[in-house]
Amino acid sequence: MVPEKLKAGDEVRIIAPSRSMVILGEDCKKIATERLEALGLKVTFGKYVMEADEDYMCASVEHRVEDLNEAFRDKNVKAILTVIGGFNSNQILDYIDYELIKQNPKIFCGFSDITAISNAIHSKTGLVTYSGPHYSSFGMLKGFEYELEYFKKIFFESEEFEVESSKEWSDDLWFIDQENREIISNEGMYIINEGTAEGDIVGGNLCTLNLLQGTEYMPNIEGKVLFLEDDNMAGKIYLMEFDRNLQSLIHTKEFKNIKAIILGRNQKGCEMTKEKWTKMIKTKPELKDIPVIAGADFGHTTPIFTFPVGGHAKLEAVNGKIKLLIKG
């Protein structure tokens, strides 16, 4: 079930199912709202986006669920964007009205901690959801062109599109200093295991996806193309942390006939290299016949492209050349 595409005049609802909007600066909110309005969209906000518990920096479970359910219930709302990620969006999964969502399918987009909600909604309803920019992402003053381009491709157009690597990327604290940015030349995606494949997409933030294992909210990954990334919270032990999280996914009974694995670009603090990624993948016999590429523009660096959870991907990774097509 693919939600309707956006057009000028459509309403976009901003909700905070993870951390609260209270953490965003006024300049970030102003830029983000103006960017969305420049697309011809009407921006509205959930009732509780500014509520924040002092320990968790988010609204109560009840209020987060109320804002999410109401956004799907409201016939005027055509798309839902999350404010930002966080740590505990999985708290609300038991209380989401999935039947309501089935009856009112619409765009739902966010990444990082939002992986739990996106994959749960897809698993419970069959609705294609999206791993892509938060509302806060639209507040980035410089270097947002690539992100905006792919946002428009997937939400305003219906055609299959090719994902090309961004020319530059960044892992700086842009939300603290919008002017003095550290811009890095992008070497692009690269091949670890060659091959061609196509299939439906599942994935997002790996450690958050793994929170769903053993629950009714975990999507069936059998026969899927996996898009996986993680942040640098583990720091210098990122290699070992990602390895064990990936191994945990491999150990699930649904890890069968996986079509391909697309790995998102990691942050600088992870201290990863092509050699480390290759070593990790090559140590896993379960992956030896699966096409694997890395360095794709999604995850916790900027910019990112938007991909559909439940949408379709085609991958050609042969003779050192990569072609990645997405539709959803």
Same domain, yes or no: 133 and 230: no
Note whether residue 153 is domain-resident. Answer: no
User: What percent of the chain shows pLDDT beyond 70?
Assistant: 100
Distance (Å, whole) CA 210 – CA 126: 19
Q: Which two tokens stand for residue 105?
A: 């399918």
User: What pLDDT shows up at residue 324?
Assistant: 98
User: What pLDDT shows up at residue 270?
Assistant: 86
Same domain, yes or no: 270 and 229: yes
Cβ atoms < 10 Å from Cβ of 102: 15
Q: Is the pLDDT of residue 233 over 90?
A: no
Same domain, yes or no: 219 and 133: no
N-to-C CA span, the chain: 9
Q: In the 8-state DSSP scheme, what is residue 113?
A: G
Tell me what the pLDDT averaged over the chain comes to: 96
Note whether residue 144 is domain-resident. Answer: no
User: What pLDDT shows up at residue 259?
Assistant: 98
Note whether residue 132 is domain-resident. Answer: yes
Same domain, yes or no: 183 and 279: yes
Q: Is the pLDDT of residue 179 over 90?
A: no
Distances (CA, A) of 225 to 74, 85, 115, 285: 33, 23, 16, 18
Mean pLDDT on 42-46:
98
User: What pLDDT shows up at residue 175?
Assistant: 79
Q: Which two tokens stand for residue 289?
A: 């016949």
28: CATH: 3.40.50.10740
Note whether residue 157 is domain-resident. Answer: no
Same domain, yes or no: 179 and 298: yes
Question: Domain boundary residue among 124, 139, 154?
Answer: 139
User: What pLDDT shows up at residue 181?
Assistant: 85
Note whether residue 279 is domain-resident. Answer: yes
Q: Is the pLDDT of residue 269 over 90?
A: no
Same domain, yes or no: 83 and 176: no
Count structural domains, the chain: 2
260: CATH: 3.50.30.60
Mean pLDDT on 206-234:
95
Nearest to 35 by CA among 145, 115, 200, 117: 145
Same domain, yes or no: 254 and 286: yes
Q: In the 8-state DSSP scheme, what is residue 185?
A: E
- Residue with the bigger pLDDT between 177 and 228: it is 228
Same domain, yes or no: 114 and 171: no
User: What pLDDT shows up at residue 132?
Assistant: 97
Note whether residue 155 is domain-resident. Answer: no
Same domain, yes or no: 135 and 167: no
Q: Which two tokens stand for residue 242?
A: 């990602």
* pLDDT tens for each residue of 57-79: 999 999 999 999 999 999 999 99
Name every residue whose Cβ is closer than 8 Å to that of residue 279 and which is 6 or more positions away in sequence: none
User: What pLDDT shows up at residue 268?
Assistant: 86
Consecutive H or E run containing 28:
helix 26-38
Distance (Å, whole) CA 325 – CA 186: 20
Distance (Å, whole) CA 197 – CA 81: 30
At 86, the pLDDT band (50, 70, 90 cuts) reads very high
User: Is beta strand 161-163 parallel, antiparallel or unpaired with respect to 321-327?
Assistant: antiparallel
Note whether residue 145 is domain-resident. Answer: no
Distances (CA, A) of 301 to 149, 267, 270: 16, 6, 12
Domain that holds residue 242: 162-327
Mean pLDDT on 259-266:
96
Same domain, yes or no: 204 and 75: no
**Which residues have a catalytic role annotated?**
112, 229, 300
Q: Is the pLDDT of residue 178 over 90?
A: no
Q: Is the pLDDT of residue 172 over 90?
A: no
Mean pLDDT on 204-214:
97
Paired strand residues for 11: 42, 77
- Residue with the bigger pLDDT between 180 and 69: it is 69
Consecutive H or E run containing 326:
strand 321-327
Same domain, yes or no: 255 and 171: yes
User: What pLDDT shows up at residue 33?
Assistant: 98
Q: In the 8-state DSSP scheme, what is residue 8?
A: T
User: What pLDDT shows up at residue 271?
Assistant: 87
Same domain, yes or no: 133 and 261: no
Note whether residue 66 is domain-resident. Answer: yes
Q: Is the pLDDT of residue 320 over 90?
A: yes
Task: Give me the count of residues in the chain.
Answer: 328
* pLDDT tens for each residue of 127-140: 999 999 999 999 99
Paired strand residues for 312: 200, 327
